[in-house]
Every structure is written in structure tokens, then in C-alpha cells.
Amino acid sequence: MKLSIFKYLKSSLIRGSLVYSGFNVLNSTLPFLLIPFLTRMLNTDDYGRISMITIFVTFVSPIVGLSTNSIVSKNYFQVDFDYFKQTVQSVFIILFVSILSIAGISYFLKEQLFYFTGVNSTDLLICLLLSGTQFVITLVNSIFQMESKPFHFGVLQLSQTLINTSLTIYFIYFLNYGWHGRIYGWIIANFLIAILGLFILFNKSYFKEFKFRTIIVKEVLAYSLPIIPYTLSGMLVSLSDRFLVNKFLGSSYVGIFTLGLQISGVLNIVFTSLNSAFVPWVYKKISKNESLNYLLGSFYIFSLIMVLISFVFLGSIYVFLDFFVGIKFAQIGGVVHIFILSNLFNSIYLIFTNYFIYKGDTKILAYNTLIVTILNIPICYLFINYFHFEGAIWSSMITSVFSLVLVLISAHKLYKFPWFHPITKF
């Protein structure tokens, strides 16, 4: 039998990858094409203000709903429809309660939150609205993903981006709303697509015969709560650098830092597409007790593809950078390569975490990420003090490498991955 690494990728996986890739290219290209517009219409300080609100939304999102949407993907292949429907209903109950709770806590701690984040009470409510609506959209897309409906997934996601992008241009260029126009476009787009998502769930009978079952709520929380420290720790790793940059260098540098992340984030067009198709595929293989050699081979293939794409992008980025970015953001040219490499290590890390999440070993990920978080903040602080702006970027790359190393060590100890014996034939 001939050896072929590409025989891992059966036709359904290939088709799914192509559809996800096509939609993700469109979905990611639109915000990317906004960069020339935004870097010319806004200054670095405005860009930094948008970034700080985005950061807070990202940080609050795992707490809104208590990360319960993670169990939706897991349970889809393990329970019947009635039980799965009640799981989705329980997730929405938890979402509603968590939003009210966070709103109350945020109100009493608004002064402290403003001191550390620069986000005022009005912006806090906006962040909750954005997080809650995005939770609904993500949940609906998770169901589409598990149903192997990449077209539905892509249309919903692309519709959100089209509305957001169009309104952003309208509010900033025609109404002169400045950086607020970006936020207004985001709010309206999320709200409209979340309403559509709820309609889809109603149409699929997910809210028919709504039942509150304590046992299912407990099951959902038992699975999801351990993910929150892991997710929040991960957020702290990825966001603490921008909090520290904002605190010690100012929002203008946050704007430049965010631009670097957005440029390197172009790679996520392909990486997200690969992972979107990979998750249901690998979950099916695990559920059928496929060998670790087989799974490891697929992990290696996806990682190798990511490495090749990253280096091609790294070699071509400087050709169009000056044309693409406004003169006020020219400083990004000297550090963009660090962002790209950091993105690569983080993406490979996420490929391997899929196995842990399916197996329910999220506590291991939480412990690992907590270790990285504890180390990241002082490293970032020291690097900013000694190396100024570039120090924050290098510290981000160091923590990405360390996260990958820790997850590989954990996989070796917990699952005994046959690192030197991947299967490359079928």
C-alpha cells in the first residue's frame, strides 16, 4: 500500500475545508481591506481606543454564558436530539443569568474597571451586549459546524461581516462619527445576526417544549466551568500585553500593536478554515476510537501546512505594507515579522488542544494556561521596561512558544502520543 500523507484528508474533509476556506477568505478579507481606510481616517490613538473596547469584549466573552457553548459541539455526537435540545435550552438560561450578574457586578466596580482598562460604564454595557449577541451567533454556527453545513456557517458569518463593514464606512466617512462609528457598526451587525440566529433555532425546534432540567444545567456547568479559567488565562496571556502597553505607553501604541495583530491575523483566514473543518472530522475519528498514530499524523500535516503558509506570507508581507498602511502607522514595518511567528506558534497550539477538549481534559489546559499567564505578565512588564514597545511583542511570542511546549508535554504524559510513529498510509 502506497504511503501518502494526503490520504488522511478524505473527500468530506477536503470539501468542508474548501467551503470554509472560501467563506473565511471573504469574511476575513473585508475587515482586512478596512485597514487602509481606518489607518487613514483615524489616528493611532483612535485605533487604540477601538482596540481597548475589543479587548474588553474578548475578555468578557468567556464569562458571558460561562463558556457553555463549548458543550454544544461535544454533545452533538453523543446524545439524542431531545437531550441535545434541552442542552441548548440550558445554555440559554445560563447565558441570561450570567449577563444580568455581570452587569450588576460591573456597575458596582465601574470605577476600578475604568482605572485598569480605560473602559467607562457605558462602554461596559456595550461590551456585554456585543458579547451576548456574539455568544448566540457562535452557538448557532457551532451547530452548523457539527451538522457539516459549512455553507450555512459561512453565509451567517459573512452576513455579519458585510453589515459591520458597510455600517463602519458609512458612520465614519459619511457621518464623521470617528472611532465611535466602528463600534456602532459592530453593535448593529451583531444584534441583527443574533436575531436571525434565534429565528434559526426556533425553526429547528430547539425551543419547542422548553424545559428546565436541573440535571442538564449541572452537567453543562460541570463541563464548562473548568474551561473558564483556561479561557480567561488564555485571554490574559493574549490581552495582558495590550493592557500593559496601554497603561505604560498609552493607547497610541495599543493602536500600532493591534494593527500588527490584524496584519498577522491574515494567516487566520486559512488557519481558521483548516481548524473549522478539522474539528468535526477529528471528533468523529476519536469517537470511532481511531488510533493515536492516525490522529498524530493529521496533527503533523496541519501543522506543516501552517508553517509553510506562514513563511510564504512572511516573505511577501513587505511588498505591499507601505501601500496598505497609512503613514501614521509606519512603525509597524519593523516588528510585523514577530507578530507572524507568534501567530504561527499559537495556531499550532490550538490544533493540539482539540484532542484535550474532546476528551474533557480541560483542567489540564487550564493548569497549563495558568502557568503561562503567571509568567507572561511579569515577562511583558520587564520587557516593556527594558525594550519599550518591541518588548511587549517579543514577550507575546515567547509565551506562544511556551504554551505550545506545555501542551505537547501534557499530551505526551497524558495520552502517550507516538511522536515518532505517525501513520501516513490508508
Cα–Cα distance measured from residue 338 to residue 261, given in angstroms and rounded to the nearest whole number: 10
Q: Is the pLDDT of residue 1 over 60?
A: no
- Where in the chain are the domains? 1-32+239-426, 42-225
- Contact between residue 123 and residue 56 where contact means Cβ atoms under 8 Å apart: yes
Chain segment 386-402, per-residue pLDDT in tens: 998 899 999 989 988 99
Angle between helices 336-359 and 292-324 (to 10 degrees): 150
Q: Residue 361 burial (CB < 10 Å; 0-12/13-18/19+)? A: middle
Which pLDDT does position 394 carry in this prediction?
92
What is the rounded average pLDDT for all residues in the chain? 83
- Over residues 18-35, the pLDDT tens digits come to 777 778 778 878 888 899
Tens digit of each residue's pLDDT (9 = 90 or more) over 155-192: 999 999 999 999 999 999 999 999 999 999 999 999 99
pLDDT at 8: 46
The three three-digit cell numbers of residue 29, written as one number: 478579507
Residue 11 reports pLDDT greater than 60: no
Q: What is the pLDDT of residue 3?
A: 45
- The predicted structure's pLDDT at residue 229: 74
